Every structure is written in structure tokens, then in C-alpha cells.
A and B are shown apart, each in its own frame.
Chain A
Amino acid sequence: MATTESDLGGPTDLSEDEQRAVEAQLLRLADDELIQAERYTFWQVRAPTLESDLSISNNAQDELGHARLWYDAVQQLGYSEESLIYESDPSDFQHSTLVELPFAEGDWADAIVRAYLYDVAEDIRLSALEDSSYEIIRNRTSRIQGEEGYHLEHAESWLDRMALDEEASERVQAAIDELYPYALTLFEPVGDVEADIDRLGIRTMTLDEMRTEWETRVESFLTELGFDVPTDAAPATPAGRDNEHTDHWHDLHEQMTSSYRNLGRDEATLIMADDDE
């Protein structure tokens, strides 16, 4: 176990402030991944080809697996899957509003652009967490990083292809214009906890630093392909991180939890073996 002087230790070693900061970092990871995955699954049996169906299903399941790991880390701090997802209020969630927007049927460009904007941000976020002072975040980050690299390649190769086609390019450009302000909400603060997250070394880059790197990478890649990037855009509202969401999220949460409620469940079923650290 690689510990440093500032290592926060495990779930039971945290002070109240430390736990609040760890929780805030973990929750957005869990919520972002779950809802991004949820929207990806829209494309299952709806993707353009059987092959692209299989690929986007892989991405969805990877993200679901990551969400599961992050929610599990939150649960170690005294929460349950029921309270975090199935019995919670939609406004308890802190995912970016980028991931909650619904797809219009057939808008594959939206799926790819959203995946790209998200995956670049995720790549940056994970590198800011790989040396986290909270061991569980460090360990799980390294498990997740390999898969996320593949997701980025998937989105980039679709963008390469679509950039060569006039109609597809127009659709991609429209998706960039629509989604870019929502993607900026990935770097919005959850509240006054961000300073603690940075000070305690839970994350080794500030939100501003992460956003700057994201803007540079996104602009460089998309401009190279001939797209316009709305670099002067402001983050969309609602941002999600501040617990404010679009109506789309309320509808989605309603659907996601409908069986749980209709069956009168009070427990979210576990079927997989526990993870070893």
C-alpha cells in the first residue's frame, strides 16, 4: 500500500470534513457514470449496425461497472444503493446535466459527440485522481483507466469518419454546438467543498485546471477535423453538480426506479461477488 504523509487512510479514518470532501468527489463520479451508461443503453438494439450496437453496449456496461465501483466506495461511508439511487430524490444526484439529456431517435452524432466530450473529461479526471490521497479512489481509478482509454478511441474514430461526410458533419457540428455548454458543467463545483478536495489531495488538479486542459484538447482535436468549437460558451444551466437538473432527469429517474417502486421493493438486488481491493 503506497501511503504518503497526507494519505487519508480508509473509510473509518476520515474526519468529518475529510469524509464530506471524499463523498463529494465520489458521488459525482458515481452519478456521472451511471447516467452516462443509462443514456448509452438507449442505443442497444437501436444502433446503426450490429457491430456499432455491440460497441456501444460495451461502453454502457463498462460505465455501469465503474458506477458500481464508485457507489460501492460511497457505501463504505455509510450509505446504501437503495438510499443513493432507488429511494433517493432526483435532486440528490450530482451528475453533470450533459449525461442526463435524452437522445433523439436516430441522432447517432449526439451519441458520439457526447461520448467524446465526456470521455476526454473522464480521461483528465482520472489522471487527477490516480494519485489521490484516498486509497480507495487511487486503486479504483487505476482499474478503470484502461477501459476509458478504449472509449476515447471509439469516439475519436467515429468522429474521424463522420468528418468526411457532409451530412454527418452537419449533424456533428449541431451536436457540438448543443452539447459543449453542457459538457462545461462537468467542471462546475458541487459547492464550497471543492477547496477541501484540492487541499486534502483527494484530487490533484483543480476544476479550473481540468477544464483548461479539456478545452485545449477538445478544441485542438475537433478543429483539426474541421469543426467549429464554441470556446466562448458559458456552462449550461442547470449544471447538475449543484443538484439542479433538467426535467429530462426527473423523467429518467422515474423510469429507472419504476420496477423497484411497482414491486414495492426495499432492497436493490446484489448478484455479483464482492470486489477485492
Chain B
Amino acid sequence: MNVDEVKARAGPREFSPKDDLPEEYRKAATRMLEFHANSEIMGAYLERPFIRKAPSIERKMAFSAKVQDEIGHGQMLYRAAESLGIKTRDEMLDDLANGDGKFLNCFHYPMESYVETPMIAFFVDGAAMRRQATLKKSSWEPYAHAMDKICFEEGMHVKHGESILRELMNGSQKEQRMTQEAFEEWWPRILQFFGPTDDQSTHHDFAAEVGLKTCTNDELRNAFLNTYIPKAKKYGLEMPDEPRIRDNGDGTYEVVEDDLDWDEFFTVSQNEYDGSIEQITGRRQAQEAVQWVRDMMDDQTTTNSGPQTQAAD
């Protein structure tokens, strides 16, 4: 198939590994899936300290389960990416460790306090849900298929985040104040989650034409704001004065882009922000420390002998 044929056929779950697809399509789909998978891993890395710090056993169980789900999502998405034949999972994980792999802007910022956890688990995951729901219609069938399970689990994560937010905002004055402060710090990053407005986005056109992207950044941002501004207010959070958000009154919003720090955003997306370096390096060191285990597993695989047969040698 050439690119024109792909564009003509593009539709939900239209293409699978059985199709002979042009490299341009396979690269674009790989880039999206790799970014998504990397984001699952780095999101899990960011949240993992709160398994320990969660303030009850049941919250601890929920954090542990959420972090585990995200590793599971990463596993599924890397598999869907590998099936495009551009990069292997090991190559993608190596790139993530060495700082070449890209991932969501929000996962580049350190998270110090428990009150920050719903900023990820409610708002960022809620924003991710908006995007992910549209990916069930991806033209790359393995991606759409992975999203069926992932969206279900992400729905649970948003409920977990909402439950934490509700508890904090019904808690003491101190908890409410700390949560409001965290919200003000995270809100601009959450708005930037959807990237710049459409006219500034670089990869959209081709991805949309071949059915890999089914909604624009603006559509997704509007859908998110329509749901989440009322929710934030319902739980007693006050919207910061800046960045300014104009409600057009017809279900659409305009975020004043000059109120957001796009230099920081692009530094983040190049993995060059202080937090990026900290998160990437921390995870790389943890992965290097268990390289010996992977080497052992590789040796046992390449000699084509599982433990039993090798023992018999």
C-alpha cells in the first residue's frame, strides 16, 4: 500500500500487521505508541513513592495497583508498537533510559506531596482519558485494541484520583489550602497537556489523514475543560486568574496561550528540563542496577535452553 491508498482506506481499526503499510505510516504510528508507552512508564515512576506514603492501607493498595496497571499498559503499548516493525521494545526502553525517548509533559515535574497526587490521578489521567477514548478508533488495530483495556483501567484511576481530591477538599483547612496550592502549580501544566493550539502542532496533519489521530488538540482540550472546570469547582478548587481561559458559551474555550510558558514546555518536551533529567536519570539508574538480571535472562534465551534443559546438559 502506498500513502495515498492508506489515506483512502483510513478508518477505525482498518490496518493490522497483516497489511503491507508504507514506512511513513508505520513510523508515525510507532512515534505515537512509543510516546504513549513511555508516558505510562514515567507516570508510574513519578507516582511510585506514594505507594509508600499513602495514608492508609487501602490507599496504599490502590496506589500499588495503579502503578502496576501503568506498567501493564506500557507492556501492551510497546507490543502494539513493536508490531509495526520499526523498533523493538528493547530499543524503545533503551531510548527511554538514555533520554532519547519522549513522554508526556506532566511527568517531567517532581511530585513531593501527597496533595499533588490527584493533580496527576484526577486531572492528568482525566485529560488522558479524553485523548485515549478517541484512540479506540485508531486506524492501527493493535493500538485501538490495547485501548479497550487501558481505557477501562484508566477510568478506575480517575475515580481513585477523584476520591483522593474529594477527601482532601473535605479535609482540614490545611489540607484544602495545600491542595489549592498544588492545583495552582499544576493547572498550567495540565492545560499544556494537550499541546499548543492546532495551528502550531507539527505532527497532526499526516496522523489525522491516515486515521491515527481522530481529534484535534483543540477539540480534546475543549472536551476536557467542559468536564473538568465544573468538577474542580464542585470540589471547592478556585480557578487561578492566569492562565486566562475564555468560555465561549458554546462548549468551547480559548486558553490565552501567552499566559502559558511555552519555552518551558518545549524544554520539557526535549527532555532538557531539570525535572526531566531527574526523572530520566533516576529511572535509568534503577534499570542499570538490574541489567545483570536481564543479561542472565538473555543468555538463557539465546542458548535456547530454559532452566530445565540447561540443567540436564
Chain B: interface size category: 35 or more
B178: chain A residues at CB < 8 Å are 263
Q: Tell me if A199 is interfacial: C-beta within 8 Å of chain B.
A: no
The 8 Å CB contact of A168, one of B74, B286, B292, is B292
Verify B290–A269 contact, CB threshold 8 A: no
Please, which residue of chain A has its CB at the minimum distance from the CB of B299?
A165
Q: Tell me if B45 is interfacial: C-beta within 8 Å of chain A.
A: yes
Docked Cα-Cα span, A50 to B45, in Å, equals 13
Verify A268–B300 contact, CB threshold 8 A: no
Number of residue pairs spanning A and B whose beta carbons lie under 8 angstroms apart: 154
Q: Tell me if B121 is interfacial: C-beta within 8 Å of chain A.
A: no
Given contacts A44-B51, A262-B114, A269-B55, contact A68 B61 (CB under 8 A): yes
Verify B65–A263 contact, CB threshold 8 A: no
Docked Cα-Cα span, A46 to B311, in Å, equals 29
Q: Tell me if A174 is interfacial: C-beta within 8 Å of chain B.
A: no
Q: Tell me if A162 is interfacial: C-beta within 8 Å of chain B.
A: yes
Q: Tell me if B54 is interfacial: C-beta within 8 Å of chain A.
A: yes
Tell me which of A45, A160, A262 has the highest count of chain B C-beta atoms within 10 A of its own C-beta.
A45
Verify A41–B52 contact, CB threshold 8 A: yes
The 8 Å CB contact of B68, one of A57, A259, A260, A263, is A57
B61: chain A residues at CB < 8 Å are 61, 64-65, 68, 272
Verify A259–B285 contact, CB threshold 8 A: no
Verify B296–A269 contact, CB threshold 8 A: no
Tell me which of A85, A108, A162, A259 has the highest count of chain B C-beta atoms within 10 A of its own C-beta.
A259
Q: Tell me if B53 is interfacial: C-beta within 8 Å of chain A.
A: yes
Bitwise interface map of B from 156 to 182 toward A, beta carbon under 8 Å scored 1, else 0:
000000010001100110110010000
Docked Cα-Cα span, A253 to B254, in Å, equals 47
Q: Tell me if A106 is interfacial: C-beta within 8 Å of chain B.
A: yes
Given contacts A54-B68, A61-B68, contact A255 B58 (CB under 8 A): no
Verify A67–B57 contact, CB threshold 8 A: yes
Given contacts A106-B289, A108-B293, A168-B293, contact A68 B57 (CB under 8 A): yes
The 8 Å CB contact of A265, one of B55, B75, B163, is B55
Known: A61-B61, A270-B56. 15 other contacts (CB 8 A): A44-B44, A45-B283, A46-B286, A64-B64, A106-B289, A106-B292, A160-B311, A168-B292, A256-B52, A259-B50, A259-B53, A260-B55, A260-B56, A263-B115, A265-B171
Interface residues of A (CB under 8 A from B): 34, 38, 41, 44-54, 57-58, 60-61, 64-65, 67-68, 71, 81, 85-86, 105-106, 108, 157, 160-165, 167-168, 171, 255-260, 262-265, 268-272
